[in-house]
């Protein structure tokens, strides 16, 4: 597929709209003291989050997070040691990964919850033989 000058101009227009709608990253660092990735935005807002809560950074060691780079557009942060990228608009919307990854993370957290209703349901399921066995495909 060839990119035409019109395609290029349209992409630049979309980028201008995007950058006017969201502040861009102006600085990024890993703060070892608080174990957080800190991204400073052009609006003055600082985002700080645990790398273990972001897709692609879950298993990162502090040394892996040291040389983070801001993308030329300012809309992304790249972690070269991990070959991982974060998209600033998604971070501002509260997404630290793809929808599928976020759903899996929420499921993990929900599965760890403890409640009287969950305990009662587990006991009732156990009385009727428990969870059915999975049938293996041959």
Range of the domain at 70: 5-96
Instruction: Evaluate whether residue 129 is within a structural domain.
Output: no
pLDDT of residue 85: 95
pLDDT of residue 82: 95
The number of distinct structural domains making up the chain is: 1
pLDDT of residue 49: 92
Quick one: CA torsion of 88, 93, 98, 102, rounded to 10 degrees?
130
Instruction: Evaluate whether residue 87 is within a structural domain.
Output: yes
Length of the chain counted residue by residue: 138
pLDDT of residue 43: 86
- Who's near 97: CB < 8 A, 6+ residues apart? 54, 55, 56, 105
Instruction: Evaluate whether residue 62 is within a structural domain.
Output: yes
Instruction: Evaluate whether residue 108 is within a structural domain.
Output: no
pLDDT of residue 22: 74
Instruction: Evaluate whether residue 103 is within a structural domain.
Output: no
Instruction: Evaluate whether residue 131 is within a structural domain.
Output: no
pLDDT of residue 39: 95
- Who's near 91: CB < 8 A, 6+ residues apart? 39, 47, 49
Q: Which two tokens stand for residue 86?
A: 């974060």
The candidate with the shortest Cα–Cα distance to 73, out of 54, 50, 89, is 89
Please give the chain's pLDDT, 138 residues, in tens.
788 999 889 988 887 777 677 788 999 999 999 999 999 998 898 989 999 988 889 999 999 999 999 998 899 999 999 999 998 888 777 666 566 766 676 676 666 667 787 778 777 877 877 777 778 877
Instruction: Evaluate whether residue 137 is within a structural domain.
Output: no
Q: Can you give the CATH number for the domain in which 71 is found?
A: 3.30.2020.40
pLDDT of residue 11: 85
| Burial class of residue 10 (count of CB atoms within 10 Å of its CB; 0-12, 13-18, 19+) | exposed
Instruction: Evaluate whether residue 133 is within a structural domain.
Output: no
Q: Integer distance in angstroms from the first to the last C-alpha of the chain?
A: 42
Tell me the backbone φ, ψ of residue 111, rounded to 5 degrees: -65, -20
């Amino acid at each position: 597929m060839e990119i035409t000058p019109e395609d290029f101009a349209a992409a630049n227009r979309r980028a201008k709209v995007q950058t006017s709608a969201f502040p861009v990253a102006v600085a990024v660092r890993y703060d070892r003291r608080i174990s957080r990735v800190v991204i400073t935005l052009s609006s003055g807002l600082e985002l700080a989050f645990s790398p273990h809560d972001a897709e692609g950074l879950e298993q990162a060691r502090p040394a892996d997070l040291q040389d983070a780079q801001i993308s030329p557009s300012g809309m992304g942060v790249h972690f070269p040691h991990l070959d991982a990228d974060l998209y600033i608009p998604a971070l501002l919307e509260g997404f630290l990964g793809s929808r599928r990854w976020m759903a899996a993370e929420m499921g993990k957290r929900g599965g760890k919850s403890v409640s009287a209703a969950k305990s009662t349901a587990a006991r009732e399921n156990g009385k009727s033989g428990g969870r059915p066995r999975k049938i293996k495909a041959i």
